[in-house]
Structure 1
Amino acid sequence: MQYQNTISFALNCDKNDPLKSYRDQFHIPQHNGQDCIYLVGNSLGLQPKSTRSYIEQELKDWQDLGVEGHFDERATRPWFHYHKFLKSHLAKLAGAKEMEVVSMNSLTTNLHLMMVSFYRPTAKRFKIITEAGAFPSDQYALETQLHFHANKGGERLFEPEEALVELKPRTGEETLRTEDILAAIDEHKDQLALVMMAGVQYYTGQLFNIQEITKKGHECGALVGFDLAHAFGNIPLNLHGDGVDFAVWCSYKYLNSGPGSVSGVFVHERHGSNPDLPRFAGWWGHDESKRFQMKKGFIPMAGADAWQLSNVNVLPSAAHLASLEIFSEAGIENLRQKSILLTGFMEFLLNDLNRGGEKIKIITPRDPDQRGAQLSLCLSTGGKDLFNQLGENGIIADWREPNVIRVAAVPMYNSFEDVWKFVEKLKKLLS
């Protein structure tokens, strides 16, 4: 697309946008009686207008049926099987089989559950590779797992500080090169147990090459998992085809399912079909045909369902389902096509703003294949003040220490007009 820095160009793009009607399916926060320019769906997605009715339906079934809502045919969606209503939607977004995905718990809980099964260190293989500056959920989970496993039977297997390999960009660069990630995996292959990285890095917005990282990890004898909090619902995924061992994600960012809403996991079928794989078990992961016999002896469900602990959180899952049905209707490939154009338009406008001297540095990769919807804007000074001024002008972005404003033009509800107005306001504030 040949971009132009005019409001008429932006409005024409919106007029011809095949996904433009989806914006009307979301509540847009207001500022002085006008729609905000909401560019923070990478932190908390907007509420679908259908969410209220989905939750109210479950409240009504609870009101009318009480405990019978679990099984009674009068229930709209019986709660016993509620997680199954989400599976087809999640499988499409994950590029997975339905048996390989399930919604449950919260992201960090799920990450720990996955590491119980997939991080099994020995005195020889104990290292974990991740990106430096990973989101705190990942940092703390990896750190504490290493300390938990460092001693076995009174013996010191390894030193936790030496076991975590954190990959940093080259000097003078902001993001990791794929060849450097692959080289690091190869360098540590004799001691490597797990590669555990983000799908999209939360700070820089870099999209990692999941396929190549997984392939190299497996060649070197390691298992490979991803935190997809900033990737799920943002980019098309192919977790089954890429051979990823496991993945976790949240649903409140691009998936628009409400603050702190239910997480999800992917477990490749080669692991989900292995009943002997070590795991921390719970009632809801037990064979559902025998679940209510209440007998000792855990018999895992087939697939990712075996990692469930407790019965479904129905009200958050109802909000999740409301959004997922919109995703299935819109199509993640269609959303991705629009996302590339929206983010490209924002980049074009920012480059135009920088003519005559760089005012804002984009630290997100310029290659659309190496990023999602997010651009991370770095300012050497005054970044927090600029961020606050944007908020005072009805532009909701996201601040991350020490000096980055994150903005994400989400294709489900953001417009080209949003992007143009954002950069125009940015230009005025900077001047």
Structure 2
Amino acid sequence: MTFQNTHSFALQLDAADPLRAFRERFHIPAGPNGQPAIYCCGNSLGLLPKNARAAVEQEFRSWEERAVEGHFHGTSPWMHYHETLTDATARVVGAKPLEVVVMNNLTTNLHLLLISFYRPAGKRYKVLMEGGAFPSDQYALESQVKLHGYAPDDAIVELVPRPGEHTLRTQDIEARIAELGEELALVLLGGVNYYTGQAFDMAAITRAGHAAGAVVGFDLAHAAGNLVLHLHDWDVDFACWCTYKYLNSGPGGTSGVFVHERFAHQPDLPRLAGWWGHDPADRFQMKKGFRPMPGAAGWQLSNGQIFPMAIHRAALAVVEEAGGMPALRSKSEQLTGYLAFVLREAGLPANELEIITPENPAERGCQLSVLVHREGRALFDYLAAQGIVADWREPNVIRLAPVPLYNSFEEVWRIGQAFAQWANRSAR
């Protein structure tokens, strides 16, 4: 499609958008002028689905009316509540239902998975991750390698872009994996890098990691609900993600876990155990001796977080109604492509404004990271004054993430106009 930088063209795109009505399913915060903000921060926190309040209220009523019996009776008994999320979760990440479970929070789940899948032995002890990964991933890996008696500076190998580049090349990742070879125990990358917005070729990376004899896992915090994923078919060993970004499940919301089915029936696989991961057939007999449930559910520790899960269930229902990830991704590619176009049209020279997210749609999701070489914070504040909610990352990056469920093409056009106005203002 040939884009046009006009208001009428943006309105035409909105009129043809099959997902346009889903914007009304979310609460849009007000901007400084009292009008709905242009919310492009779904990569940090998704908006509140309007059906979430009723979903939580239903569980309040169950608690009020049944108290402890709510675990076993009612519309969705809490004993099995996590199971109501399984099928939709599997579709979001391209997995079999056996391979996924919703539980805990993201970094907690990452630690639980690392206990099982980072098993250094002999000379195979190193971990490969992207340089500048989100701090939680860095801290988790630092502590995990220390648990095994290694020094992080030795055991953790970081991937960095080539000089003068902002993102990693797949062939360079593959080459580094091959170079580490028999020293490599684990490859752990973000599916989408939080800072640059680069989406990694997870299938290729998994193949390369397995060829080197390593385990391969991904933190999908910025990928789940953003990209079309095929974790089972890609042969990924494990993954985890939060649900409060593109899956719109609330601040601090619950987390998802993927464990490939080849590990589903390995009860002796090392793990940290809890009673909710124990075989439910005799869970309430309170006996010694942990017997994990098959699949990802065997990594559960405690009974489910019902209220966060209720929000997540409501949010997943919206995703399903919209046609799932293929439908969302189809609009996302067009919406993000239009954002890149209007930003280039804004008139800011490359030595002042640079999009560091890959241009290829296959290598990015919703987010564009804009590197501002001059007066970046002032530009960010200017956008905020115009009612544009973006995200600032030190030292000089503005992240913009138009989300297909609730952002419009007209909003993207208005973002381009704000950048153009800033360019004219700066020129004076």
Band of TM-score, shorter chain: over 0.9
Q: Is 1:327 the equivalent of 2:326?
A: no
Q: Could you say which residue in structure 2 is the equivalent of 1:236?
A: 228
Once the two structures are superposed, the pairs formed by residues 215-364 of structure 1 within 5 Å of their partners are 215-330=207-322, 331-354=324-347, 358-364=351-357
User: Matched residues in 2 for 1:348 and 1:399: separation?
Assistant: 21
User: Matched residues in 1 for 2:158 and 2:15: separation?
Assistant: 46
Whether the aligned pair in 1 keeps the contact of 2:45 and 2:244 (CA below 8 Å) is yes
Instruction: Kindly provide the CA deviation profile for residues 242-272 of structure 1, in whole angstroms up to 9, marking residues without a partner as x.
Output: 0000001000000000000001100001012
Q: Which letter maps to 2:62?
A: D
Q: Could you say which residue in structure 1 is the equivalent of 2:106?
A: 107
User: Matched residues in 2 for 1:353 and 1:24: separation?
Assistant: 29
Whether the aligned pair in 1 keeps the contact of 2:352 and 2:374 (CA below 8 Å) is no
Q: What is the CA-CA distance between 1:123 and the residue it aligns to?
A: 2.5
Q: Which letter maps to 2:95?
A: A
Q: Could you say which residue in structure 1 is the equivalent of 2:14?
A: 14
Q: Which letter maps to 1:245?
A: D
Q: Which letter maps to 2:332?
A: S
Once the two structures are superposed, the pairs formed by residues 143-182 of structure 1 within 5 Å of their partners are 143-150=142-149, 158-182=150-174
Q: Secondary structure at the match of 2:181?
A: coil
User: Matched residues in 1 for 2:347 and 2:384: separation?
Assistant: 22
Q: Is 1:367 the equivalent of 2:366?
A: no
Q: Secondary structure at the match of 1:190?
A: helix
Q: What is the CA-CA distance between 1:356 and the residue it aligns to?
A: 6.1
Q: Is 1:403 the equivalent of 2:403?
A: no
Q: Is 1:54 the equivalent of 2:55?
A: yes
User: Matched residues in 2 for 1:367 and 1:254: separation?
Assistant: 20
Q: Which letter maps to 2:179?
A: E
Q: Could you say which residue in structure 1 is the equivalent of 2:127?
A: 128
What percentage of aligned pairs have identical amino acids? 57
Q: Secondary structure at the match of 1:173?
A: coil
Instruction: Kindly provide the CA deviation profile for residues 42-72 of structure 1, in whole angstroms up to 9, marking residues without a partner as x.
Output: 0000000000000000001100110101101
Distance of aligned partners of 1:288 and 1:426 in 2 relative to their CA distance in 1, 3 Å threshold: same
List structure 1 segments (4+ residues) > 6 angstroms apart after TM superposition.
none
Q: What is the CA-CA distance between 1:160 and the residue it aligns to?
A: 2.9
Q: Which letter maps to 2:24?
A: D
Q: Could you say which residue in structure 1 is the equivalent of 2:411?
A: 418
Q: What is the CA-CA distance between 1:97 and the residue it aligns to?
A: 0.4
Whether the aligned pair in 2 keeps the contact of 1:214 and 1:243 (CA below 8 Å) is yes
RMSD (CA atoms): 1.0
Q: Which letter maps to 1:42?
A: N
Q: What is the CA-CA distance between 1:357 and the residue it aligns to?
A: 5.5
User: Matched residues in 2 for 1:33 and 1:406: separation?
Assistant: 23
Whether the aligned pair in 2 keeps the contact of 1:283 and 1:309 (CA below 8 Å) is yes
Q: Is 1:138 the equivalent of 2:133?
A: no
Q: Which letter maps to 2:40?
A: L
Whether the aligned pair in 1 keeps the contact of 2:345 and 2:416 (CA below 8 Å) is no
Q: Could you say which residue in structure 2 is the equivalent of 1:2?
A: 2
Q: Secondary structure at the match of 1:128?
A: strand
Q: Secondary structure at the match of 1:174?
A: coil
User: Matched residues in 1 for 2:104 and 2:94: separation?
Assistant: 21
User: Matched residues in 1 for 2:97 and 2:380: separation?
Assistant: 41
Q: Is 1:208 the equivalent of 2:200?
A: yes
Instruction: Kindly provide the CA deviation profile for residues 135-181 of structure 1, in whole angstroms up to 9, marking residues without a partner as x.
Output: 0010000111111112xxxxxxx443111110000000000000000
Instruction: Structure 1: state its 5+ residue gaps.
Output: 151-157
User: Matched residues in 1 for 2:345 and 2:351: separation?
Assistant: 10
User: Matched residues in 1 for 2:349 and 2:382: separation?
Assistant: 23
User: Matched residues in 2 for 1:359 and 1:166: separation?
Assistant: 29
Q: Which letter maps to 1:48?
A: P
Q: Secondary structure at the match of 2:216?
A: strand
Q: Could you say which residue in structure 2 is the equivalent of 1:155?
A: none
Q: Could you say which residue in structure 1 is the equivalent of 2:35?
A: 34
Instruction: Kindly provide the CA deviation profile for residues 14-64 of structure 1, in whole angstroms up to 9, marking residues without a partner as x.
Output: 011001111010000012221100000000000000000000000011001
Q: Is 1:85 the equivalent of 2:84?
A: yes
User: Matched residues in 1 for 2:67 and 2:262: separation?
Assistant: 39
User: Matched residues in 1 for 2:273 and 2:20: separation?
Assistant: 44
Instruction: Kindly provide the CA deviation profile for residues 68-99 of structure 1, in whole angstroms up to 9, marking residues without a partner as x.
Output: 01101xx1211000000000110001100001
User: Matched residues in 2 for 1:315 and 1:354: separation?
Assistant: 47
Q: What is the CA-CA distance between 1:354 and the residue it aligns to?
A: 3.6
Whether the aligned pair in 1 keeps the contact of 2:369 and 2:397 (CA below 8 Å) is yes
Give the TM-score normalised by the residue count of structure 1: 0.97
Q: Could you say which residue in structure 2 is the equivalent of 1:427?
A: 420
Q: Which letter maps to 1:316?
A: P
User: Matched residues in 2 for 1:7 and 1:257: separation?
Assistant: 32
Q: What is the CA-CA distance between 1:388 and the residue it aligns to?
A: 1.5
Q: Which letter maps to 2:115?
A: V
Instruction: Kindly provide the CA deviation profile for residues 188-237 of structure 1, in whole angstroms up to 9, marking residues without a partner as x.
Output: 01100000000000000000000000001001000000000000000010
Q: Could you say which residue in structure 2 is the equivalent of 1:387?
A: 380
